[in-house]
Structure 1
Amino acid sequence: MLIAHVLREKGGAVHTLTAEALLRHAAQELNARKVGALVVLDLEGELVGVISERDIVREVARGGADAMEEKVSAAMTRKVITAGMDETIDECLERMTDRRIRHLPVIDRGKLVGIISIGDLVKHRIAAVEAEAAAMQAYITTH
Protein backbone atom coordinates (compact mmCIF):
# COMPACT_ATOMS: atom_id res chain seq x y z
CA MET A 1 0.00 0.00 0.00
CA LEU A 2 1.23 3.47 -0.86
CA ILE A 3 1.52 6.52 1.38
CA ALA A 4 -0.98 8.23 -0.93
CA HIS A 5 -3.60 5.66 0.19
CA VAL A 6 -2.77 6.22 3.86
CA LEU A 7 -3.19 10.00 3.47
CA ARG A 8 -6.41 9.56 1.52
CA GLU A 9 -7.90 7.67 4.48
CA LYS A 10 -6.27 9.74 7.22
CA GLY A 11 -6.60 13.15 5.61
CA GLY A 12 -3.97 15.73 4.88
CA ALA A 13 -4.29 17.90 7.98
CA VAL A 14 -0.88 19.05 9.15
CA HIS A 15 -0.45 20.97 12.38
CA THR A 16 2.29 23.54 12.03
CA LEU A 17 3.97 26.42 13.78
CA THR A 18 6.87 28.72 13.06
CA ALA A 19 10.45 28.34 14.21
CA GLU A 20 9.98 31.62 16.11
CA ALA A 21 7.25 30.18 18.37
CA LEU A 22 8.16 29.36 21.97
CA LEU A 23 8.54 25.78 23.18
CA ARG A 24 5.74 26.52 25.65
CA HIS A 25 3.43 27.22 22.71
CA ALA A 26 4.60 24.06 20.93
CA ALA A 27 3.83 21.96 24.02
CA GLN A 28 0.38 23.55 24.28
CA GLU A 29 -0.30 22.81 20.60
CA LEU A 30 0.86 19.20 20.91
CA ASN A 31 -1.48 18.76 23.86
CA ALA A 32 -4.45 20.55 22.29
CA ARG A 33 -4.12 18.71 18.96
CA LYS A 34 -3.38 15.36 20.64
CA VAL A 35 -0.40 14.74 18.34
CA GLY A 36 3.21 13.81 18.96
CA ALA A 37 4.87 16.23 16.54
CA LEU A 38 4.34 19.49 14.71
CA VAL A 39 5.83 20.55 11.41
CA VAL A 40 7.89 23.72 11.67
CA LEU A 41 7.66 26.28 8.87
CA ASP A 42 9.67 29.41 8.21
CA LEU A 43 7.97 32.76 7.66
CA GLU A 44 7.59 31.94 3.94
CA GLY A 45 5.80 28.68 4.75
CA GLU A 46 8.70 26.38 3.84
CA LEU A 47 9.44 23.22 5.84
CA VAL A 48 12.42 23.83 8.14
CA GLY A 49 11.97 21.28 10.90
CA VAL A 50 9.86 19.03 13.09
CA ILE A 51 9.31 19.53 16.80
CA SER A 52 8.26 16.49 18.81
CA GLU A 53 7.42 15.74 22.39
CA ARG A 54 10.81 14.08 22.65
CA ASP A 55 12.58 17.26 21.47
CA ILE A 56 10.82 19.31 24.14
CA VAL A 57 11.63 16.80 26.89
CA ARG A 58 15.33 16.94 25.92
CA GLU A 59 15.35 20.74 26.19
CA VAL A 60 13.61 20.70 29.57
CA ALA A 61 16.07 18.06 30.80
CA ARG A 62 18.96 20.34 29.76
CA GLY A 63 17.60 23.70 30.81
CA GLY A 64 14.82 23.10 33.29
CA ALA A 65 11.49 24.91 33.14
CA ASP A 66 13.18 28.01 31.66
CA ALA A 67 13.68 26.04 28.43
CA MET A 68 9.98 26.44 27.72
CA GLU A 69 10.66 30.11 26.92
CA GLU A 70 13.20 29.20 24.21
CA LYS A 71 12.27 29.31 20.53
CA VAL A 72 11.21 26.16 18.73
CA SER A 73 14.22 26.64 16.45
CA ALA A 74 16.50 25.80 19.41
CA ALA A 75 15.01 22.33 19.90
CA MET A 76 13.53 21.22 16.58
CA THR A 77 14.95 18.52 14.36
CA ARG A 78 16.39 20.36 11.36
CA LYS A 79 17.39 17.47 9.13
CA VAL A 80 13.84 16.47 8.30
CA ILE A 81 13.32 13.00 6.89
CA THR A 82 10.27 13.01 4.60
CA ALA A 83 8.11 10.58 2.65
CA GLY A 84 6.72 10.73 -0.85
CA MET A 85 3.21 9.87 -1.96
CA ASP A 86 4.45 7.00 -4.13
CA GLU A 87 6.42 5.27 -1.38
CA THR A 88 5.15 2.12 0.29
CA ILE A 89 4.23 1.67 3.92
CA ASP A 90 7.04 -0.85 4.30
CA GLU A 91 9.63 1.57 2.88
CA CYS A 92 8.55 4.26 5.33
CA LEU A 93 8.38 1.88 8.29
CA GLU A 94 11.93 0.78 7.53
CA ARG A 95 13.14 4.40 7.31
CA MET A 96 11.41 5.31 10.57
CA THR A 97 12.89 2.30 12.35
CA ASP A 98 16.40 2.90 10.99
CA ARG A 99 16.34 6.61 11.88
CA ARG A 100 14.44 6.13 15.15
CA ILE A 101 11.78 8.65 14.27
CA ARG A 102 8.02 8.47 14.67
CA HIS A 103 6.76 11.06 12.18
CA LEU A 104 7.36 11.75 8.49
CA PRO A 105 6.10 14.85 6.73
CA VAL A 106 4.78 13.87 3.30
CA ILE A 107 5.96 15.90 0.33
CA ASP A 108 4.36 15.88 -3.13
CA ARG A 109 5.88 17.95 -5.94
CA GLY A 110 7.85 19.98 -3.43
CA LYS A 111 4.84 20.82 -1.25
CA LEU A 112 3.90 19.61 2.22
CA VAL A 113 0.69 17.56 1.83
CA GLY A 114 0.46 15.65 5.10
CA ILE A 115 2.23 13.90 7.92
CA ILE A 116 2.23 10.24 8.88
CA SER A 117 3.12 8.62 12.16
CA ILE A 118 4.50 5.18 12.80
CA GLY A 119 1.12 4.42 14.39
CA ASP A 120 -0.69 5.32 11.15
CA LEU A 121 1.53 2.93 9.21
CA VAL A 122 1.32 0.07 11.71
CA LYS A 123 -2.49 0.39 11.71
CA HIS A 124 -2.59 0.02 7.91
CA ARG A 125 -0.06 -2.81 7.91
CA ILE A 126 -2.08 -4.75 10.49
CA ALA A 127 -5.27 -4.23 8.47
CA ALA A 128 -3.53 -5.60 5.37
CA VAL A 129 -2.26 -8.68 7.24
CA GLU A 130 -5.72 -9.32 8.69
CA ALA A 131 -7.29 -9.03 5.21
CA GLU A 132 -4.72 -11.51 3.83
CA ALA A 133 -5.44 -13.95 6.65
CA ALA A 134 -9.19 -13.70 6.11
CA ALA A 135 -8.78 -14.28 2.36
CA MET A 136 -6.55 -17.28 3.00
CA GLN A 137 -9.02 -18.70 5.49
CA ALA A 138 -11.90 -18.21 3.05
CA TYR A 139 -9.89 -19.93 0.31
CA ILE A 140 -9.02 -22.89 2.54
CA THR A 141 -12.60 -23.42 3.72
CA THR A 142 -13.97 -23.42 0.15
CA HIS A 143 -11.40 -25.89 -1.23
Structure 2
Amino acid sequence: MPISVKSILDSKGRAVVTVSADTTLMEAAAILAENRIGALVIGAVGGEVSGIFTERDVVKAVAKYGRQCLDQAVGDIMSFNIVRCSENSTVDEVMEMMTQRRFRHVPVEDDGKLSGIISIGDVVKAHIREIELEAEQIKAYIAG
Protein backbone atom coordinates (compact mmCIF):
# COMPACT_ATOMS: atom_id res chain seq x y z
CA MET A 1 0.00 0.00 0.00
CA PRO A 2 1.51 3.37 -1.00
CA ILE A 3 2.58 5.76 1.75
CA SER A 4 0.42 8.88 1.92
CA VAL A 5 1.33 12.46 2.74
CA LYS A 6 -0.94 12.11 5.78
CA SER A 7 1.27 9.36 7.19
CA ILE A 8 4.36 11.54 6.67
CA LEU A 9 2.72 14.43 8.53
CA ASP A 10 1.46 12.13 11.29
CA SER A 11 5.04 10.95 11.76
CA LYS A 12 7.01 14.20 11.44
CA GLY A 13 4.42 16.67 12.70
CA ARG A 14 2.26 19.33 11.15
CA ALA A 15 4.03 22.47 12.32
CA VAL A 16 4.58 25.02 9.56
CA VAL A 17 6.55 28.22 9.95
CA THR A 18 4.54 31.01 8.37
CA VAL A 19 5.19 34.70 7.95
CA SER A 20 3.25 37.58 6.49
CA ALA A 21 3.99 39.03 3.08
CA ASP A 22 5.42 42.20 4.65
CA THR A 23 8.25 40.33 6.42
CA THR A 24 11.59 41.55 5.07
CA LEU A 25 14.00 39.25 3.28
CA MET A 26 16.50 39.77 6.10
CA GLU A 27 13.91 38.70 8.69
CA ALA A 28 12.86 35.75 6.54
CA ALA A 29 16.46 34.61 6.09
CA ALA A 30 16.97 34.78 9.86
CA ILE A 31 13.80 32.72 10.45
CA LEU A 32 14.93 30.11 7.90
CA ALA A 33 18.34 29.84 9.58
CA GLU A 34 16.95 29.85 13.13
CA ASN A 35 14.48 27.06 12.36
CA ARG A 36 16.90 25.15 10.11
CA ILE A 37 14.32 24.95 7.33
CA GLY A 38 14.33 25.70 3.62
CA ALA A 39 10.94 27.34 3.12
CA LEU A 40 8.43 29.66 4.73
CA VAL A 41 4.77 29.63 3.89
CA ILE A 42 3.29 33.04 3.36
CA GLY A 43 -0.07 32.85 5.05
CA ALA A 44 -3.29 34.60 4.36
CA VAL A 45 -6.27 35.10 6.60
CA GLY A 46 -8.16 31.87 7.22
CA GLY A 47 -5.18 29.55 6.82
CA GLU A 48 -4.96 29.85 3.05
CA VAL A 49 -1.56 29.81 1.42
CA SER A 50 -0.81 32.98 -0.53
CA GLY A 51 2.82 32.19 -1.38
CA ILE A 52 5.99 30.36 -0.48
CA PHE A 53 9.43 31.80 0.16
CA THR A 54 12.48 29.56 -0.05
CA GLU A 55 16.21 29.78 0.39
CA ARG A 56 16.46 29.76 -3.41
CA ASP A 57 14.36 32.95 -3.43
CA VAL A 58 16.88 34.62 -1.12
CA VAL A 59 19.76 33.69 -3.42
CA LYS A 60 17.93 34.82 -6.57
CA ALA A 61 16.95 38.15 -4.99
CA VAL A 62 20.48 38.92 -3.78
CA ALA A 63 21.94 37.96 -7.17
CA LYS A 64 19.44 40.14 -9.02
CA TYR A 65 19.09 43.17 -6.72
CA GLY A 66 22.12 43.11 -4.45
CA ARG A 67 22.15 43.58 -0.70
CA GLN A 68 19.51 46.34 -0.76
CA CYS A 69 16.88 43.65 -1.44
CA LEU A 70 17.25 42.47 2.15
CA ASP A 71 14.93 45.30 3.18
CA GLN A 72 12.29 44.29 0.60
CA ALA A 73 9.17 42.43 1.64
CA VAL A 74 9.01 38.71 0.88
CA GLY A 75 5.70 39.46 -0.82
CA ASP A 76 7.69 41.15 -3.60
CA ILE A 77 9.91 38.11 -4.14
CA MET A 78 7.93 35.02 -3.12
CA SER A 79 6.53 32.44 -5.49
CA PHE A 80 2.82 32.95 -6.08
CA ASN A 81 1.94 29.94 -8.24
CA ILE A 82 2.03 27.44 -5.43
CA VAL A 83 1.68 23.77 -6.16
CA ARG A 84 -0.05 22.08 -3.29
CA CYS A 85 -0.81 18.50 -2.40
CA SER A 86 -3.42 16.92 -0.20
CA GLU A 87 -3.02 14.55 2.69
CA ASN A 88 -4.32 11.80 0.39
CA SER A 89 -1.49 12.31 -2.12
CA THR A 90 0.98 9.44 -2.30
CA VAL A 91 4.74 9.65 -1.90
CA ASP A 92 5.15 8.64 -5.55
CA GLU A 93 2.80 11.39 -6.75
CA VAL A 94 4.57 14.07 -4.72
CA MET A 95 8.02 12.81 -5.72
CA GLU A 96 7.05 12.97 -9.39
CA MET A 97 5.60 16.47 -8.95
CA MET A 98 8.75 17.72 -7.20
CA THR A 99 11.02 16.15 -9.81
CA GLN A 100 9.12 17.47 -12.84
CA ARG A 101 8.68 20.99 -11.50
CA ARG A 102 12.05 21.19 -9.74
CA PHE A 103 11.05 22.34 -6.29
CA ARG A 104 11.76 20.97 -2.85
CA HIS A 105 8.83 22.04 -0.65
CA VAL A 106 5.11 21.45 -1.01
CA PRO A 107 2.43 22.90 1.27
CA VAL A 108 -0.22 20.37 2.23
CA GLU A 109 -3.84 21.46 2.30
CA ASP A 110 -6.86 19.76 3.79
CA ASP A 111 -10.25 21.25 2.87
CA GLY A 112 -8.51 24.36 1.52
CA LYS A 113 -6.59 25.00 4.75
CA LEU A 114 -2.88 24.60 5.38
CA SER A 115 -2.29 21.37 7.31
CA GLY A 116 1.46 20.93 6.92
CA ILE A 117 4.43 21.10 4.59
CA ILE A 118 6.62 18.35 3.21
CA SER A 119 10.12 18.59 1.82
CA ILE A 120 11.99 16.45 -0.66
CA GLY A 121 13.85 15.00 2.33
CA ASP A 122 10.57 13.87 3.90
CA VAL A 123 9.50 12.29 0.61
CA VAL A 124 12.80 10.49 0.04
CA LYS A 125 12.83 9.18 3.61
CA ALA A 126 9.27 7.85 3.21
CA HIS A 127 10.14 6.30 -0.16
CA ILE A 128 13.15 4.52 1.33
CA ARG A 129 10.98 3.24 4.19
CA GLU A 130 8.44 1.98 1.64
CA ILE A 131 11.19 0.06 -0.20
CA GLU A 132 12.51 -1.38 3.07
CA LEU A 133 9.03 -2.60 4.05
CA GLU A 134 8.59 -4.21 0.65
CA ALA A 135 11.96 -5.97 0.99
CA GLU A 136 10.99 -7.26 4.45
CA GLN A 137 7.71 -8.61 3.07
CA ILE A 138 9.51 -10.38 0.23
CA LYS A 139 12.00 -11.94 2.69
CA ALA A 140 9.14 -13.07 4.93
CA TYR A 141 7.35 -14.57 1.94
CA ILE A 142 10.44 -16.45 0.79
CA ALA A 143 11.21 -17.69 4.29
CA GLY A 144 7.58 -18.62 5.00
Q: Which residue of 1 aligns with 2:40?
A: 38
Residue type of the alignment partner of 2:109: I
User: Counterparts of 1:129 and 1:119 in 2: how far apart (Å)?
Assistant: 15
Cα distance change on mapping 1:123 and 1:30 into 2, 3 Å: same
User: Counterparts of 2:86 and 2:48 in 1: how far apart (Å)?
Assistant: 16
1:81 counterpart SS class: coil
C-alpha contact (below 8 Å) 2:43/2:49 kept by paired residues: yes
Q: Which residue of 1 aligns with 2:13?
A: 11
- TM-score, length-scaled by structure 1: 0.94
Residue type of the alignment partner of 1:97: T
1:80 counterpart SS class: coil
Cα distance change on mapping 1:127 and 1:44 into 2, 3 Å: closer
- TM-score, length-scaled by structure 2: 0.94
Q: Which residue of 1 aligns with 2:124?
A: 122
Q: Is 1:134 aligned to 2:136, yes or no?
A: yes
C-alpha contact (below 8 Å) 2:16/2:41 kept by paired residues: yes
User: Counterparts of 1:123 and 1:16 in 2: how far apart (Å)?
Assistant: 24
Identity of aligned residues (%): 42
User: Counterparts of 1:44 and 1:83 in 2: how far apart (Å)?
Assistant: 18
Q: Is 1:105 aligned to 2:107, yes or no?
A: yes
Q: Which runs of 4+ in 1 moved over 4 A?
A: none
Residue type of the alignment partner of 1:116: I
Q: Which residue of 1 aligns with 2:73?
A: 71
Within a 5 Å distance, the mapping from 1:70-89 to structure 2 comes to 70-89=72-91
Q: Which runs of 5 or more structure 2 residues have no equivalent in the other structure?
A: none
C-alpha contact (below 8 Å) 1:18/1:43 kept by paired residues: no
C-alpha contact (below 8 Å) 2:47/2:113 kept by paired residues: no
Shift of 1:60: 0.2
Residue type of the alignment partner of 2:84: T
Q: Which residue of 1 aligns with 2:63?
A: 61
Residue type of the alignment partner of 1:105: P
